[in-house]
A and B are shown apart, each in its own frame.
Chain A
Amino acid sequence: MAASPQSQSLAAAAAGRNPPHKRRAGGKGNPGHSKKLKRSDEPVRRSSKPSDKFLKLLRKRARDYNSDDDEPLSESEEVSCSEDESAVGFARFEQGCRAFRVAFSKIMAKKLPDDPLGPVLSAHKKLVAAKLAEDAGDHKPKGDSRKEKRMAAEKGHVIPANHLDSKEKDLIKVATQGVVRLFNAVSKSQNSRKGLSPSSSKDAKVLAKERKQTFLMELNKSSNQSQKGQASSNFSEHISKDKEETGWAPLRDTYMLGSKLKDWDKMQVSDVANEQSATLLDDSSDEE
């Protein structure tokens, strides 16, 4: 009984305090008044308008309420109660709240199970669990697909070891053999014609002969010597083809006339197209 008038008066006081603010703002007619002011206005307007009737209603409600048992305290009442510090109201509140306090402290004292979800109300718990599961389901396939994609993109990519294994060493050996053969052939061919000058016709003849002979000999010899003889390089190709010609290419009769150029193109195409085992000119010299 006593608490309610107190609260009413307080509300009235609040109502009484605020309206001047509003009136002042309106009187100035300032269109650009701050939002803060406006926001504070809103509740004030509502409370001030139905002042008498509303207060009566509130009072009646309070009376009704107080006539009931104190057990169910609505939150709004509670707040208003806690705000006012009058001794009588406080005592009442204390009494009414004891049950609540006990319950609350009990809950707080409760030991929580090791739940990853944490302290959540049971109804909510299901929802959160479902949501978490959904999220996890979403993330996992994403990562997986990305990984798969990456694996597919890297297919066949092998990062070599830091040391040379026996296979690589063998390959290097084969390659070295090929290089040595080329260098030897080059040195033989270039040494033999060092003294001769290709410009004089007499020397040119000798040169041509020598090149042909020494070269074929050299190739045969080298291939006989190395019984493994796997390495066959492209250098030998040219020999059989234009052994007759010497000197700088533009000086020759056949320079860019095309028979040779056409040859090497066509030979292959026809070779492959017909699938014949046509032996080319240089096969004998090259493969043992």
Chain B
Amino acid sequence: MARVRNSNGRRGGGGGGGGGRGGKGKGKWKMPVSVVRKQQAAMANVDQVTGAKIPKSFVFSRGKISPTLRHLQQDIRKVMLPYTALKLKEKKRNNLKDFLNVAGPLGVTHFVILSNPKSSPHLRFAKSPQGPTYTFQIKEYALASDIANSQKRPRCPPEIFKSPPLIVLSGFVGVEEPFKSLVEYFRYIVPIVDPATVKLSTCQRILLLQFDKEKEIINFRHYSIKLQPVGVTRKIRKLMQNNQVPDLRDLKDVSDYVTKAGYGSESEADDEAATVSLASDIDKLNRASKKSAVRLQEIGPRMTLHLVKVESGLCSGVVLYPEPVAKDGVEEKGKEIEEDIEGQEDEDLMESEDGSEDESEE
């Protein structure tokens, strides 16, 4: 069995447990433990404010993958935080069925599976109980650490991973069927944002999936959102942020501190398109009903994905894309259905098929 630590499930269950204990204290009626547990589990999977079901995900790998890909896997887990198992441990003998069995009770709805068949990395996005499965080939990728290394001032505070990312799907307007369902899939991979109740301070990250129609690739980017008040100089901003007494040694007057232009990047003209008026206070600087500029900084990972296959089941079932040739279609269907999700051998077989499909497509 896969050893799974799902801290969110436990934390979410705490609230439900409180209610159960309250009833016990009065001594009128004792709720059976199993019922309490079930309730807790149900509560953990539902958003307390909007009542929507929270999608949870597993990110794991199949087969042998290189250390770099293992880093990528961890990066993808961080993208999927907080509703994913960051420290999910998988063993060689764990097969897909194990994950499936664990996923049910934990309320895991999405699988992200990394594999490396024929040493070309593939990423599969799947819905947990019944599919569908979207298989992508990772054409290019860069780890979060690579991106942090490429930046002068990487910004990645750990707090931003406490709330789920926003998803922006771009370039999917008027696309054909496999991508249409893909849009639906990606829309539900993170909790739905309700504009009426959402707290703006929880919008800290954004996941961009941009579809390039000509090359048929999807650009996967992950940014952190930073808000800066418009019309406030850098020095004042820093003064507010740092909570420290500023260094005034070299100044003759206090006003110099404000008026003297710093060497900072004041030249960054605030783009009118990137300014928003906030509905509520976010922090000390970004107050409600004040203009703020939206700044995005990439935190990685960065991936370029190419859709190679869509299956109706969970890593099995009828191949919906690329559409099988009519002659081979019957055979293919039979084979696909026969093939269960049981063993590692099957897994390998499927992966090799992925590869062949890939070649035929190109």
**Interface residue ranges, A against B (CB under 8 Å):** 152-162, 168, 171-172, 174-180, 182-191, 193, 211, 215, 229-235, 237-239, 242, 246, 248-250, 252, 254-256, 260-261, 264-265, 267-269, 271-273, 275, 277, 280, 287-288
Q: Given A162-B150, A178-B208, A187-B276 in contact, is the A233-B166 Cβ separation under 8 Å?
A: yes
Please report which residues of chain B, range 252-276, place their CB below 8 angstroms from some CB of chain A when the two chains form the complex. 271, 273-276
Bound form: Cα–Cα A285–B237 in Å: 39
Interface string of B191-206 (1 = CB under 8 A from A): 0111110101001001
Instruction: Kindly list chain A residues whose C-beta atoms are within 8 Å of the C-beta of B49.
Output: 248-249
Q: Given A175-B208, A261-B53, A269-B131 in contact, is the A182-B166 Cβ separation under 8 Å?
A: yes
Cross-chain contact B181 with A271 (CB below 8 angstroms): yes
Indicate whether B302 reaches chain A with its CB closer than 8 angstroms.
Answer: yes
Cross-chain contact B196 with A232 (CB below 8 angstroms): no
Please report which residues of chain B, range 180-197, place their CB below 8 angstroms from some CB of chain A when the two chains form the complex. 180-181, 184-185, 187-188, 190, 192-196
Indicate whether B353 reaches chain A with its CB closer than 8 angstroms.
Answer: no
Please report which residues of chain B, range 30-44, place their CB below 8 angstroms from some CB of chain A when the two chains form the complex. 42
Among A156, A187, A268, A273, chain B packs the most CB atoms within 10 A around the CB of A156
28 contacts between A and B (CB under 8 A): A153-B66, A153-B69, A155-B121, A156-B141, A157-B140, A157-B142, A171-B208, A175-B296, A178-B166, A179-B166, A184-B277, A189-B196, A189-B279, A191-B279, A232-B173, A233-B169, A238-B192, A249-B48, A250-B51, A264-B53, A264-B188, A268-B185, A269-B132, A272-B320, A273-B132, A273-B312, A275-B177, A275-B320
Interface string of B269-297 (1 = CB under 8 A from A): 00101111111100000000000001010
**Interface residue ranges, B against A (CB under 8 Å):** 42, 46-53, 66-69, 109, 119-121, 127, 130-132, 138-143, 146-147, 149-150, 166-174, 177, 180-181, 184-185, 187-188, 190, 192-196, 198, 200, 203, 206, 208, 210, 219, 221, 223, 225, 271, 273-280, 294, 296, 298, 302, 310, 312, 318, 320
Bound form: Cα–Cα A180–B168 in Å: 11
Cross-chain contact B279 with A234 (CB below 8 angstroms): no
Supply 10 further A-B pairs (C-beta < 8 A) apart from A176-B271, A268-B181. A175-B221, A180-B274, A183-B200, A183-B276, A183-B278, A186-B200, A231-B168, A232-B170, A238-B192, A260-B52
Bound form: Cα–Cα A240–B172 in Å: 20
Instruction: Kindly list chain A residues whose C-beta atoms are within 8 Å of the C-beta of B275.
Output: 180
Cross-chain contact B294 with A179 (CB below 8 angstroms): yes
Instruction: Kindly list chain A residues whose C-beta atoms are within 8 Å of the C-beta of B168.
Output: 174-175, 178-179, 231-233
Cross-chain contact A176 with B273 (CB below 8 angstroms): yes
Bound form: Cα–Cα A175–B210 in Å: 9
Cross-chain contact B147 with A187 (CB below 8 angstroms): no
Shortest B111–chain A CB gap in Å is 14
Q: Given A162-B150, A269-B130, A272-B320 in contact, is the A230-B166 Cβ separation under 8 Å?
A: no
Q: Given A178-B208, A248-B49, A249-B51 in contact, is the A158-B140 Cβ separation under 8 Å?
A: yes
Instruction: Kindly list chain B residues whose C-beta atoms are within 8 Å of the C-beta of A162.
Output: 150
Bound form: Cα–Cα A215–B170 in Å: 21
Shortest A250–chain B CB gap in Å is 7
Cross-chain contact A269 with B150 (CB below 8 angstroms): no
Instruction: Kindly list chain B residues whose C-beta atoms are within 8 Å of the C-beta of A175.
Output: 168, 170, 206, 208, 221, 223, 296
Select one of B173, B177, B195 contacting A287, CB under 8 A.
B173
Bound form: Cα–Cα A193–B203 in Å: 21
Among A155, A246, A269, chain B packs the most CB atoms within 10 A around the CB of A155
Q: Given A174-B170, A233-B166 in contact, is the A193-B120 Cβ separation under 8 Å?
A: no
Instruction: Kindly list chain B residues whose C-beta atoms are within 8 Å of the C-beta of A154.
Output: 66, 68
Bound form: Cα–Cα A143–B182 in Å: 44
Instruction: Kindly list chain A residues whose C-beta atoms are within 8 Å of the C-beta of B320.
Output: 272, 275
Cross-chain contact A153 with B68 (CB below 8 angstroms): yes
Shortest A271–chain B CB gap in Å is 6
Q: Given A174-B210, A175-B208, A268-B184 in contact, is the A234-B146 Cβ separation under 8 Å?
A: no
Q: Which 3 A-B residue pairs are closest in the complex by CB-CB distance?
A: A249-B51, A178-B168, A153-B66
Bound form: Cα–Cα A280–B181 in Å: 11
Cross-chain contact B193 with A235 (CB below 8 angstroms): yes
Q: For residue A229, which residue of chain B has the nearest CB?
A: B173
Shortest B261–chain A CB gap in Å is 25
Bound form: Cα–Cα A172–B210 in Å: 11
Cross-chain contact A180 with B66 (CB below 8 angstroms): no
Q: For residue A211, which residue of chain B has the nearest CB?
A: B196
Cross-chain contact B187 with A156 (CB below 8 angstroms): no
Bound form: Cα–Cα A157–B66 in Å: 11
Shortest A235–chain B CB gap in Å is 4
